[in-house]
Amino acid sequence: MPVVELNGIHVNYEEHGDPAGAPILLTHAFAASLQMWNPQFEALSAYRVIGWDMRGHGGTDSPPSQEQYTEKLTIEDMASLLRHLGISRAVVGGLSLGGYLSLEFQLAHPEMVRALILCNTGPGYRKDEARAGWNDFSIGYAKRFEERGLDGLGRGIEIDATKRYQRSAQGLAFAGRGILTQRDAKVMEHLERIDVPTLIVLGADDERYKAGGEYMAAKIPNARKAVIEQAGHAVNLYQPAQFNEAVLAFLRDNGI
């Protein structure tokens, strides 16, 4: 797997598919790694598909201080990786935290986004109380890694598929406190200004993200919603064939 130094850390990534195809950047969920996209790498082989590990995860470095884990730094890691690969504009997508970071990326670098694929994710919180509840959950997740090491990963189809690639419980804890937590409503307030085709994929059995997905589908112009039956949070792993079909149809219908 290639590793490149970007923004002071070594970032692990993989490229799959046709090098001449339209580029797609996929970002994994919190406490997962790029390998959660393995079922998509082959199915999307007509495209140039890039999976990567965010800081603190998988084969990417885990910097030693909390200050090195922020949304802003992670977004710049994404931009720097695309520039390193000579890509000026890509389809940008992700699951859960990876989907939220894709929205953050579109807000920070709209000129680099051709389309969005948002999988079982949400746009953040408008009310401080709701955001505080999410942050309590995120910090609790971080504490699990500090107290239990990598045993704090718990269970989940995306965790089970990628846990052997994790190297640093402290990196995951830092990421939980600094990247998974949220600070404002800027993403939610930006939804109506998103001007690229957007696919919102929902696993029918994932209740936590259903309301957020429905909200985005209503607010984002030119958004398409795909509900995958018999699928939980990691919708791309529960029903890879149906997920891949939805993504390919979206790309095809938008001339990508």
For residue 39, give both structure tokens: 């079922």
Provide the whole-model pTM.
0.96
Q: What is the pLDDT of residue 154?
A: 83
Taking residue 220's Cβ as centre, other Cβ atoms within 10 Å add up to 24
Determine contact, residues 44/246, Cβ cutoff 8 Å.
Answer: no
Residues 142, 122: contact at Cβ < 8 Å?
no
| CATH number 3.40.50.1820 is the correct assignment for the domain at 3-253 | yes
Share of the chain above pLDDT 70, in %: 100
> pLDDT digits over 168-188, tens only?
999 999 999 999 999 999 999
Handedness of CA 165, 167, 169, 175 (dihedral sign): negative
pLDDT tens, 89-148? 999 999 999 999 999 999 999 999 999 999 999 999 999 999 999 999 999 999 999 999
Please tell me the distance from the alpha carbon of residue 223 to that of residue 226, in angstroms, as a whole number: 10
> pLDDT tens, 60-89?
999 999 999 999 999 999 999 999 999 999
Residue 222 amino acid letter: N
Question: Domain boundaries in the chain?
Answer: 3-253
Which SS3 state, helix, strand or coil, does residue 149 take?
Answer: helix
| Cβ-Cβ contacts under 8 Å for 110 (sequence gap 6 or more) | 195, 196
Contacts of 13 (CB under 8 A, 6+ apart): 1, 2, 3, 4, 34, 50, 51, 52, 53, 81
Average pLDDT, the chain: 96
What distance in Å separates the CA atoms of residue 220 and residue 192, rounded to the nearest whole number?
Answer: 5
Q: DSSP string of 107-126?
A: HH-GGGEEEEEEES-----S
CB-count exposure of residue 147 (10 Å: 0-12, 13-18, 19+): exposed
